[in-house]
């Protein structure tokens, strides 16, 4: 078992569809990208969508996620709390 102490933030359905599309032969590109030492980085999927990768420093685990909204209640982002 490998624990890379990082999590992916993405649209899961789009990511899974992209990985099916590229198949096993295309996966080394993504495995290599996961070796980055950056604290946060992004990987672009074939259809142009992004997967954001964040090093948690504590393992992958479970973390609370909060939806951030603008003053007019439109979704403006998400916050992942790695420290609580």
pLDDT digits (tens, 9 = 90+) for 20-65: 988 888 888 888 888 888 888 998 888 888 888 888 766 556 778 8
Q: How far apart are CA 26 and CA 49, in angstroms?
A: 16
What average pLDDT does range 71-77 have in this prediction? 90
User: In Å, what is the CA distance from 17 to each residue of 6, 7, 11, 45, 81?
Assistant: 21, 19, 10, 10, 28
Q: How far apart are CA 79 and CA 66, in angstroms?
A: 5
Q: How far apart are CA 57 and CA 4, in angstroms?
A: 9
pTM (whole model) above 0.75: no
SS3 of residue 14 by DSSP = helix
């Amino acid at each position: 078992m490998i624990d890379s102490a990082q999590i992916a933030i993405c649209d899961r359905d789009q990511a899974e569809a992209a990985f099916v599309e590229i198949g096993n032969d295309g996966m080394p590109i993504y495995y290599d990208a996961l070796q980055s030492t950056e604290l946060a980085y992004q990987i672009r999927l074939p259809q142009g969508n992004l997967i954001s990768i964040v090093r948690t420093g504590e393992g992958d685990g479970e973390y609370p996620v909060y939806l951030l909204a603008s003053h007019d209640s439109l979704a403006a982002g998400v916050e992942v709390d790695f420290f609580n």
